[in-house]
């Protein structure tokens, strides 16, 4: 208890405020309140009691403020926990129910309107087999049974422009020897890239209606003419040039041969090639049971080589050295 009697160092009210404030600041909130209440009960001066009451009121206000803040923090934590639980359990919130029902209804409608098979060729109202037949009829009309046309297979795919493309692939060399497409008007066209006397960016119309090929012109071959082949770099030549550029004497083979036979029995490396897509050649130096770090591609349109790091979301990096080596050493058609 503090003595409030007058002395030489106190004022007329008999309270040492600095001493009292120091004592109270060292107490816990509960002890502060108890001490103030005790001092108020013992004090006889009204001014002293009022001063003590003001101090007590201030402490109680601060205590209530802290309780309110703590309650708000707890409420936020509880709401956050409830939201996380709802999202984790996949429970639909009422406010999104109508919208989700609309999405489900639209998905069901889309499934009904799009046939499950051959969706990519629905745009031109032709199946994959029909498009292959159309191209085959056009080729037979063009070249007949000429020995200048090697054995081939047709591969159908949808291009970035959403048009249907057909690649004519040599079964002997796995090189492309022709490309066809069905344009936006449903007409069959052939790429000028593989035709003599036609600019490579042009497309030549062959037929307007499936499966009519009556207007397709027959190609007359010179007896001494070389067999039909793709202009530009061949995939096997690309692999050979890559091996020479790397100064590697490893055997060169397609990816299928490396996967099936070589990787099981050989101890050394191999130069492996394949098509990354219909317009991009790919080659790498592979070793059995060893992770591939890099591989290289050649863009046939750009006529440029690129290096790729063998990892997810890898970006290609232009390889000027390999590009220059290919341009200098490739065979000229």
Res. 323: pLDDT tops 60: yes
Residue-wise pLDDT for 285-297, tens only, equals 887 777 778 899 9
Per-residue HEC secondary structure of the chain comes to: CCCCCCCCCCCCCCCCHHHHHHHHHCCCHHHHHHHHHHHHHHCCCHHHHHHHHHHHHHHHHHHHHHHHHHHHHHHHHHHHHHHHHHHHHCCCCHHHHHHHHHHHHHHHHHHHHCCCCCHHHHHHCCCHHHHHHHHHHHHHHHHCCCCCCCCEEEEEEECCCCCEEEEEEECCCCCEEEEEEECCCCCEEEEHHHCCCCCCCCEEEEECCCCCCCCCCCCCCCCCCCCCCCCCCCHHHHHHHHHHHHCCCCCEEEHHHHHHHHHHHCCCCEEEEEEEECCEEEEEEECCCCCCCEEEEEECCCCEEEEEECCCCCCCEECHHHHHHHHHHCCCC
Mean pLDDT of the chain, nearest integer: 74
CB atoms within 10 A of CB 51: 19
The fraction of the chain above a pLDDT of 90, given in percent, is 11
Res. 97: pLDDT tops 90: no
Plot region of 24 (φ>0 → left; ψ -120 to 50 → alpha; else → beta): alpha
- Mean pLDDT to the nearest integer, 216-220: 77
In whole angstroms, what is the distance from residue 196 CA to residue 264 CA? 44
pLDDT at 121: 44
pLDDT band for position 8 (cuts 50, 70, 90):
very low
Residue-wise pLDDT for 100-135, tens only, equals 455 555 555 555 554 544 444 444 578 888 999 999
Strand partners, 282: 274, 297
- Mean pLDDT to the nearest integer, 58-78: 88
pLDDT at 72: 92
pLDDT at 50: 80
In whole angstroms, what is the distance from residue 309 CA to residue 292 CA? 9
The fraction of the chain above a pLDDT of 70, given in percent, is 67
Of 242, 222, 223, 226, give the one whose Cα is nearest residue 234: 242
> What tokens appear for 223 in the block?
């007896």
Compute, in degrees rounded to 10, the torsion defined by CA atoms 280, 273, 297, 163: 10
pLDDT at 6: 45
Of 168, 170, 167, 211, give the one whose Cα is nearest residue 188: 211
Whether residue 326 contacts residue 238, with contact meaning beta carbons closer than 8 Å, is answered with yes
In whole angstroms, what is the distance from residue 273 CA to residue 250 CA? 13
pLDDT at 89: 67
pLDDT at 119: 42
- Mean pLDDT to the nearest integer, 307-330: 87
Helices 320-329 + 235-246 axis angle, to 10: 120
pLDDT at 21: 60
């Amino acid at each position: 208890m503090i003595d409030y009697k007058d002395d030489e160092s106190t004022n007329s009210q008999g309270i040492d405020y600095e001493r009292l404030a120091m004592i109270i600041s060292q107490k816990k909130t509960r002890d502060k309140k108890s001490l103030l209440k005790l001092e108020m009960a013992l004090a006889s001066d009204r001014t002293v009691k009022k001063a003590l009451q003001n101090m007590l009121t201030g402490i109680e206000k601060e205590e209530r403020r802290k309780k309110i803040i703590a309650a708000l923090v707890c409420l936020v934590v509880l709401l956050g926990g409830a939201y996380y639980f709802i999202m984790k359990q996949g429970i639909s919130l009422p406010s999104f129910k109508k919208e989700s029902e609309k999405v489900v209804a639209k998905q069901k409608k889309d499934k009904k309107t799009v046939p499950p098979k051959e969706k990519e060729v629905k745009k031109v109202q032709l199946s994959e087999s029909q498009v292959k037949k159309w191209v085959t009829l056009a080729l037979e009309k063009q070249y007949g049974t000429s020995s200048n046309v090697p054995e081939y297979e047709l591969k159908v795919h949808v291009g970035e422009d959403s048009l249907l493309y057909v690649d004519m692939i040599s079964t002997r060399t796995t090189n492309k020897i022709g490309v066809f497409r069905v344009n936006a008007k449903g007409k069959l066209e052939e790429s000028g890239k593989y035709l003599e006397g036609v600019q490579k960016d042009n497309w030549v119309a062959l037929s307007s209606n499936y499966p009519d090929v009556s207007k397709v012109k027959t190609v007359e071959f010179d007896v001494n003419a070389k067999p039909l082949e793709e202009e530009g770099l061949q995939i096997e030549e690309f692999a050979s040039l890559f091996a020479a550029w790397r100064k590697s004497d490893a055997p060169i083979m397609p990816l299928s041969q490396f996967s099936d036979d070589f990787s099981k029995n050989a101890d050394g490396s191999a130069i492996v090639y394949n098509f990354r897509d219909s317009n991009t050649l790919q080659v790498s130096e592979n070793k059995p049971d060893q992770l591939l770090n890099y591989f290289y591609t050649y863009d046939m349109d750009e006529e440029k080589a690129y290096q790729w790091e063998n990892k997810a979301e890898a970006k290609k990096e232009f390889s000027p050295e390999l590009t220059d080596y290919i341009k200098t050493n490739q065979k000229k058609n």
